[in-house]
Amino acid sequence: MDKRRRLLANGPPPYGGRFERTHTAGEILDRFPELEGSSVRIAGRLRSIRRQGKVTFADLQDGGRRIQLFCRVNTMGEAAYGLLDDLDIGDIVGVAGQVMRTRTGQESVEVTGIELLTKSLRPLPEKWHGLKDVELRYRQRYVDLIVNPGVRDVFVARSKAVAAIRRFLTERGFLEVETPMLNPIPGGANARPFITHHNALDMDLYMRIAPELYLKRLLVGGFDKVFEIGKNFRNEGISTKHNPEYTAVEVYEAYADARDMMRLTEELFAYVAAEVTGGTVITFQGTRIDLTPPWPRLSMTEAVARYTGVDFDAIATDEQARAAARSKGVEVDKQATRGKVLAEMFEELVEPHLIQPVFIVDYPVEVSPLAKRKDDDPGLTDRFEPYINGWEVANGFSELNDPVDQRERFLRQLEQRAAGDEEAHMMDEDFLRALEVGMPPAGGLGIGVDRLVMLLTDSPSIRDVILFPHMRPRDLV
């Protein structure tokens, strides 16, 4: 702060304006042989300063790259060289100089002029251990991004992944749309919503938990291939795999079904992986995962049989199903139906084994209120979820377009709601009206973008791929 006062007293304000750059640090480093000897103007943040009397070295960080500055009183003159005394690590400067190598061969810029563009009033964290405190890394992501190498790369990769998803779908003729995040009725998922209030209308609104029901209305309206990338909000616990607001992409295609959506899913994952990592085989926390299509398809019943030895084809009643669950140590509700028990046993006993990509198909109708029933088995739906690394990374199905069946499903959900299930769906009469107008048969798909990015960037926590993860507010010191 004293320095700030001195700078304000003695010269131009330490918060400059436009600075004409000719190159970035990365460009100079990448094209060094070609640029050696030429004049450049660069800008960035000082990360270290090594003063040696009449010669000073400094490292300038720009766009995640670092280049050395070499300052000599002979080249700069006494007056300009003297300005270096007021510079601190963390300051943002603009530099003019010549690209050169030092005696030791270090790529550098020999400074002829330097200009303080922004004074840093707070010291940066320790220079070779960086910022380790996870809480501070998330709360002060701006500092984390400056001092911890690799953090920046994760978010560059995230941007590439989202761009790749958008390109993949757009090139296949899907139309990107935006639907409301403030919903009078939250739908499209089993989840507890955030509630907010609209003052002018004096009504409560819900933050959306999924865009599904709006996107299906667009199918009714004649948009055959649509997608939306955006945030969903779920009022639930926080964990290494859950953030209250997270990013999903949802895709709908008229006249397609679950099989088409599975092909789309595996191709999309492979495409995005290749765009971000350069290949379709990735390593997550030491485990090799091969995303190359096609991925195997496995029915939930087969999966449970394979990993638990319990054959649901031989189980006819809810009571038998509950007994089977108990025999494997899985607690289920006393009212749980056969389908619910199957899904519970799957989640508890099978999911952790599904490391390599696999599509689990044929979900019980009880846990899939928006999916079309299978023709040959009305107790099951034509639904799939791909699993990778034990995580559910997407969800899709042949969409239920029978308004009468859909109304029945909503009524079942309302019963569950009345029984205390706060995550059960609400009735959405306007959505039913849309189905009554007529929705073409369609396949739908939702992908958790954060989890996809975690896989592609080898990040063990969802908070590593979200710039500003949710934290309890805390008083600043």
- Give the footprint of RNA on this chain (CB under 7 A): 3, 48-55, 57, 68, 70, 72-74, 88-89, 102-106, 108, 122-136, 138, 189-191, 234, 236-237, 239-242, 347-348, 363, 367-368, 383, 385, 392, 395, 423, 446, 448, 461, 463, 469, 471-472, 474, 477
CB of 168 vs RNA, minimal distance in Å: 20
Q: How far apart are CA 190 and CA 427, in angstroms?
A: 13
CB of 250 vs RNA, minimal distance in Å: 11
The count of other CB atoms within 10 Å of the CB of residue 308 is 19
Terminal C-alpha separation, the chain: 17
CB of 35 vs RNA, minimal distance in Å: 17
Residue closer to RNA, measured from CB, 160 or 241: 241
Residue closer to RNA, measured from CB, 77 or 279: 77
Count Cα atoms within 13 angstroms, Cβ side, for 317. Answer: 3
CB of 471 vs RNA, minimal distance in Å: 4
Q: Which two tokens stand for residue 313?
A: 């084809």
Angle, CA 167 vertex, CA 445 and CA 274 arms, to 5°? 85
Residue closer to RNA, measured from CB, 102 or 283: 102
Residue closer to RNA, measured from CB, 390 or 438: 390
The count of other CB atoms within 10 Å of the CB of residue 27 is 18
E strand segments, 325-441: 358-364, 373-374, 377-388, 391-392, 394-398
- Bridge partner list, 248: 230, 448
Residue closer to RNA, measured from CB, 160 or 192: 192
Dihedral Cα 438, 439, 441, 446, nearest 10 deg: -160
Residue closer to RNA, measured from CB, 275 or 458: 458
CB of 297 vs RNA, minimal distance in Å: 17
Q: What sign does the dihedral 250-251-252-255 (CA atoms) show?
A: negative
Residue closer to RNA, measured from CB, 236 or 275: 236
Residue closer to RNA, measured from CB, 113 or 275: 113
Residue closer to RNA, measured from CB, 197 or 474: 474
CB of 294 vs RNA, minimal distance in Å: 22
Angle, CA 84 vertex, CA 83 and CA 85 arms, to 5°? 90
CB of 424 vs RNA, minimal distance in Å: 10
CB of 423 vs RNA, minimal distance in Å: 5
Q: Which two tokens stand for residue 42?
A: 């660069």
**DSSP result, 82-126:** HGGGG--TT-EEEEEEEEEE-TT--EEEEEEEEEEEE---SPPPP
- DSSP-derived letter for residue 239 is B
Q: How far apart are CA 429 and CA 431, in angstroms?
A: 5
CB of 343 vs RNA, minimal distance in Å: 8
Q: How far apart are CA 97 and CA 71, in angstroms?
A: 9
Q: How far apart are CA 394 and CA 386, in angstroms?
A: 6
